A and B are shown apart, each in its own frame.
Chain A
Amino acid sequence: EAGVVQSPRYKIIEKKQPVAFWCNPISGHNTLYWYRQNLGQGPELLIRYENEEAVDDSQLPKDRFSAERLKGVDSTLKIQPAELGDSAVYLCASSPRSLAGVSNEQFFGPGTRLTVL
């Protein structure tokens, strides 16, 4: 079974440029997450989708970040314009279903390492 696929794996851009990341979750997984992992830190949730609905985007900087999950499968995360502080690894994860009180094993992709110059 294929895991979570992300592309690109690496991206270098100049500040003020736009950038987009793509994620294909594991087939059949209803829940999709985007995390940001700064150097030396654990991942921090940016947005969580249940099918095509964003159910938790409280940590997403909405002035420059946007995300979509059309048809409830693939997802894209966009930054426009990028700032120096956006340099990080952007991780996508998926899980079969998000239910309170049930173990939530999240399967992570390899991430996209973004460098903003």
Chain B
Amino acid sequence: GEDVEQSLFLSVREGDSSVINCTYTDSSSTYLYWYKQEPGAGLQLLTYIFSNMDMKQDQRLTVLLNKKDKHLSLRIADTQTGDSAIYFCAESPLEYGNKLVFGAGTILRVKS
């Protein structure tokens, strides 16, 4: 079945690291994605990870994948106020072609 779960809210201080967690259910997903949504805007792809990798780093972003536990995390180093947004985790189960199944999103609030 399809089910992606995320914590609802995270609050951090500017300059700290943020870690947003996600669990998914379908082990057939070849890629797992992180999207960012700012108020009134569409979703923007931040990064993605191939399922045979356990880590991917891209500037301030680090994605960790634990395939055994079906757990995905996004770490944002040196979090800035501009990082305040909603972050969505998404899986793409093979049986559904390239359909993305999104979690409900995690609201990240960065306090200055």
Among B10-18, B67-75, B97-105, which stretch is in contact with chain A?
B97-105
User: Contact at A45–B98, with CB atoms within 8 Å?
Assistant: no
Give the interface segment out of B57-65, B76-84, B88-96. Answer: B88-96
Q: Does B45 contact A (CB under 8 A)?
A: yes
Return the contact of A40 from the options B45, B48, B98, B104 (Cβ within 8 A).
Answer: B104
A106 contacts which chain B residues (CB < 8 A)? 43, 45, 100
Q: Is the CB of A42 within 8 A of B88?
A: yes
Where the two chains meet, the residues of B that have a C-beta atom closer than 8 Å to any C-beta of A are: 4, 30-31, 35, 40-45, 48, 50, 88, 90, 92, 94, 96-100, 102-105
- Please tell me which one of the listed residues B42, B44, B99 contacts residue A111 in the complex, with CB atoms under 8 A apart: B42
Query: What residues on B are CB-neighbors of A98 within 8 Å?
Result: 97-98
A104 with B105: CB separation less than 8 A: no
Instruction: Contacts A41-B105, A42-B103, A42-B104 given; indicate if A110 touches B98 (C-beta within 8 A).
Output: no
User: Looking at the complex, which one of A42, A105, A110 makes contact with B105 (CB distance below 8 Å)?
Assistant: A42
Instruction: Please report the C-alpha to C-alpha distance between residue A44 and residue B90 in the assembled complex, in whole angstroms.
Output: 11
- A-B residue pairs, 5 tightest by C-beta: A42-B102, A108-B42, A104-B98, A108-B43, A98-B98
Q: Which residue among A4, A31, A41, A42 has the maximum number of chain B CB atoms within 10 Å of its CB?
A: A42
B43 with A91: CB separation less than 8 A? yes
